[in-house]
């Protein structure tokens, strides 16, 4: 603002007296004439030492591509029999195998490269001993974007139920 006023004052001075006056408005006038009116303040570059990643807003309202449920089923149908066919239930082995299956299924889901989806994998391995059981689940989510799939496998000594939930990260 002050620069604009200075420029106006300089122009007025030019109209009234053609000789550049150094006496009356000397300081301002010479400042307006000799130096550029553009600011010479260069952009200050701040060097960020901390590993802070600031993400820009994507303005994305929903997923570009919904998580394909048939792909999840295909992964489960492929993984469960390949790891559990011809296996026998043993306590330590099934504990390790349930963790392994979880990790394998999660890795295969990540390979699908569907962006902005969080994944939850649940695997139950149980011994076949004539008992009855019920597994149920309920979810509080957005049914337009989130999905799940489950598959069960059985052989002579064990059964396995795997459930995968894919939740969109808004």
Partner 1 sequence: MDEGGEDESIETTIGTSSYQHFRVNQWSTTIVEQCLSQLCKLGKPFKYIVTCVIMQNNGAGLQTASSCYWDNATDGNCAIKWENKSMCCIVSVFGLAV
Q: Which is nearer to partner 1, 31 or 71 (CB)?
A: 71
Alpha carbon distances (Å) from 98 to 36, 78, 90, 105: 74, 15, 12, 11
Token pair in block for residue 19: 């000789």
Token pair in block for residue 162: 């795997």
One of 31, 74, 102, 112 touching partner 1 (CB under 8 A): 102
Contact between 105 and partner 1 by CB under 8 A: the answer reads: yes
Q: Which is nearer to partner 1, 10 or 167 (CB)?
A: 167
CB contact at 8 A, 153 and 80: yes
DSSP 44: P
Contact between 137 and partner 1 by CB under 8 A: the answer reads: yes
Choices 26-34, 36-44, 69-77, 135-143 (CB under 8 A): range interacting with partner 1? 135-143
Packed helices 26-34 and 2-16: angle between N→C axes, nearest 10 degrees:
100
Contact between 142 and partner 1 by CB under 8 A: the answer reads: yes
Q: Which is nearer to partner 1, 10 or 97 (CB)?
A: 97
- Residue 58 backbone phi and psi in degrees, to 5: -90, -15
Residues found near partner 1 in the complex (CB under 8 A): 89, 91, 94-95, 97-99, 101-103, 105-106, 109-110, 118-142, 146, 163, 165, 167, 169-170
């Amino acid at each position: 603002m002050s620069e604009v006023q200075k420029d106006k004052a300089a122009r007025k001075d030019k109209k009234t007296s053609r000789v550049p006056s150094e006496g009356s408005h000397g300081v301002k006038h010479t400042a307006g004439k000799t130096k550029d009116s553009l600011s010479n303040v260069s952009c200050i570059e701040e060097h960020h030492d901390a590993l802070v990643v600031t993400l820009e807003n994507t303005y994305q309202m929903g997923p570009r591509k919904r998580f394909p449920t048939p792909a999840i089923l295909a992964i489960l149908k492929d993984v469960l029999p390949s790891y559990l066919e011809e296996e026998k239930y043993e306590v330590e082995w099934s504990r390790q195998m349930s963790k392994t299956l979880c990790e394998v299924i999660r890795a295969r889901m990540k390979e699908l490269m569907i962006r902005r989806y969080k994944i939850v994998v649940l695997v139950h391995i149980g011994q076949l001993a004539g008992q009855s059981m019920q597994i149920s689940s309920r979810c509080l989510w957005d049914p337009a974007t989130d999905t799940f799939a489950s598959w069960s496998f059985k052989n002579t000594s064990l059964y396995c139920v795997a459930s995968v939930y894919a939740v969109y990260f808004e």
